Chain A
Amino acid sequence: DIVMTQSPATLSVSPGERATLSCRASQSVNSNVVWYQQKPGQAPRLLIYGASTRATGIPARFSGSGSGTEFTLTISPMQSEDFAVYYCQQYNHWPAFGGGTKVEIK
């Protein structure tokens, strides 16, 4: 089974700054990774698919990159509504989620 490892577990960022979140796969998943955002008390929302393509309605300040085993979600500039937990998930093999990164206000 593929294991998705996200780092850091918690990231402290000031509004207006850049947030860089990482997701590592235990073996290659090509570019078959998505990112979700989950705000407190809400369901997850799809942000990025295919490692780098923004889903419908997602602002341009969200960008994804990577392939193989290393993936990055960048949010720049951070806005107040972006403080949330972010999960990656691969779909190259039997789907697996990462453990999440909580982005909090610094």
Chain B
Amino acid sequence: DIQMTQSPSSLSASVGDRVTITCRASQSINTYLNWYQQKPGKAPKLLIYAASSLQSGVPSRFSGSGSGTDFTLTISSLQPEDFATYYCQQSHSDPTFGQGTRLEIK
């Protein structure tokens, strides 16, 4: 299994802040890395695929970068609707997810 480790596990931020979440794979996954947003009681929503490609309909304040083992998700200016839990997921082999990062309002 490829293990995915996100940091931080939680963070507090304010509307308008720039936020970065990191995800590290236990071995190289090239750019087979996706990011999802999940709000309470809802299914996850795809934000970024292939490490840096923005899914259709997702606001441009979301961006992703990285390759190999280290990846980041950046939200350039937090909006009220962005407070949620974020998961990374590798699709290089049997899919595995990070443990999640809970983004809370400061």
A and B pair up: no
By a beta-carbon cutoff of 8 Å, the part of chain B in contact with chain A is none
